[in-house]
Structure 1
């Protein structure tokens, strides 16, 4: 407009063609957003339009200099007057279609990869927190086995086997799913590891002893409310100590897990706890002695243990 002036700019037909083309391209992009099913058609049309734009602009520019009154008939006659013009038009059309088909294929694979990535992320988050997944992308050794100190927490539904004996499988599954959902929400909120579910048992672990103890109390209170309508309750056990943490399993099947006597001890404490009880090992109690100064204690002869375990009731 600055170079030619507004009147001259408006009177030039190739300007109208260019802006019409731009408007059509914008509408095609809008169509992709509103109608994803039309994506492939839109991609084809955009590529054909891009390739045809320049020969059409060239033809209009040439004709506007030769004809005083540019018309569709004159435009068509221009293309038909020379076989080279027809060749250029058809070659451009074919090139646009080929480019469009190539982009359609690329878009198809891109959509497929995004779908697979979303699915893999969802499946991965069943076992790992988003933070752990992000860490594994930056550090390929994040899941390797390593020795660490952890607080292990076990929770188990008391009387579950007898209760489920005469219940419909659908009711049992519904109750367990409610139990699992409640446990996971509380554990994740207290920065615990994604819980493992084994039948009516929940197992998780923590780096921070205070978070583990707070989680145990919250779980007990939540389970009492949730399981009471079924006539059930849960017992919990916690212990602190060294474990091996990382991917464990065979060459083709692995889970992120922990192993060690610390895990076994926490499980034995959980098994000894009654309905609504939390048993904490002496080792964990010594980490927060002020919290267990007046707590009742019990000596437990746990299976597989030579010495009795001292358990504090939380």
Structure 2
């Protein structure tokens, strides 16, 4: 069974110092030792410790260089490092702190100081990991942007709203209830979860704030808590919708390849306008969301869209028309709106670029290429294999 003790790496080129530190720490911690910088980096690569006690003055690669390399690697950048050194000048300490050292312990060492500082830094880094884990869990229930703003202090957990011009997106699956009435629950769960996972990733990549899932529907908005400007927010939203429809077509191919004969089509609506955005609810339970007539209009556009289509309002179209092709539709009679609503269909050609899944199928031949799953480093080899197959056909 693996040790549950915190894991400490001690790095020093003097055997007596390594023996002393291991003897001092091994009752409470899982201690490993390294006699050089390269050996330490290799040990960290294979099994990252919770804390490193690092000598500065070592031949070949000194402690400063070891710390530089640790901080350049995303997997090791957060490991706390305490320097063990007989160098005690202010300049020397400043150099270490600038590199990212957590602390200094002067030689000759004092065992009580070593134990106290090791304990303090392990507890601090443990708290940081727990906070990060909590943040990761919360971001599964709240928009990641909202979680980040709560943790960095830019947003408070209090009932407060503001008026902002946002771009609002709605999507749903056409005739989902009727289409899935005879499906097995496992099939519904698999397709719906994989669909939402892919759409959520696309929304996040484009900077959208995922408001909620309502059955088979999805609501996303742009412009809060972060904004790039009203026009750029609108462009990001339409580009997100295009990416979602492209991915939806690719998912249908992949689902068939996995042996499923079930599928569905998605319709989408987009509108830009002033909304109330913020925390709504009570002192005990709040919901970060948006409300207003402009939100309702996005939902009405989505309901009026054809399967596989994207309808946007006149306001959104005026913001994106220089970069997004669209065709004006017959004005919509929308529930809750006294006047007919102008609507624009995003051109299908705008969705044809940037394909990620290619499939060729005929009697005796079936080829499927999914660029999202094919690593960049392997694409050249895959291209050679396709050319070899083509040569064999001749």
TM-score (normalizing by structure 2): 0.52
Larger helix fraction of residues: 1
- Per-residue CA shift, 1:252-309, capped at 9, x if unaligned? 2222211111111100110111101111111211223446786131222122222222
Question: Is the CA contact 1:156–1:201 (under 8 Å) kept in the aligned structure 2?
Answer: yes
Aligned position for 2:161: 145
* Equivalent residues, number: 240
1:211 to partner: Cα distance: 1.0
Question: Is the CA contact 1:187–1:195 (under 8 Å) kept in the aligned structure 2?
Answer: no
Q: Is structure 2 residue 333 aligned with structure 1 residue 301?
A: yes
Aligned position for 2:238: 213
Aligned position for 1:113: 127
Aligned position for 2:343: 311
For the residues of structure 1 that align with 2:15 and 2:249, how far apart are their CA atoms? 69
Residue 257 of structure 1: which of 282, 285, 289 is its match? 289
Secondary structure of 2:244's aligned partner: helix
Sort the Cα spacing of 1:22 and 1:265 in 2 relative to 1 into closer, same or farther, 3 A. same
Secondary structure of 2:182's aligned partner: coil
Aligned position for 1:23: 18
For the residues of structure 2 that align with 1:199 and 1:140, how far apart are their CA atoms? 29
Residue 139 of structure 2: which of 106, 112, 125 is its match? 125
Output aligned runs, 1:80-91, within 5 Å: none
For the residues of structure 1 that align with 2:281 and 2:126, how far apart are their CA atoms? 31
Aligned position for 1:51: none
Structure 1 or 2, whichever has the larger Rg, is: 1
Aligned position for 1:222: 247
Secondary structure of 2:303's aligned partner: helix
Q: Which runs of 5+ in 2 are unaligned?
A: 1-13, 26-30, 34-43, 51-110, 224-232, 257-261, 347-394
Secondary structure of 1:191's aligned partner: coil
Larger strand fraction of residues: 2
1:152 to partner: Cα distance: 0.4
Question: Is the CA contact 1:240–1:262 (under 8 Å) kept in the aligned structure 2?
Answer: yes
For the residues of structure 2 that align with 1:293 and 1:227, how far apart are their CA atoms? 25
Question: Is the CA contact 1:292–1:312 (under 8 Å) kept in the aligned structure 2?
Answer: no
1:151 to partner: Cα distance: 0.5
For the residues of structure 2 that align with 1:182 and 1:169, how far apart are their CA atoms? 20
Q: Which runs of 5+ in 1 are unaligned?
A: 1-18, 38-95
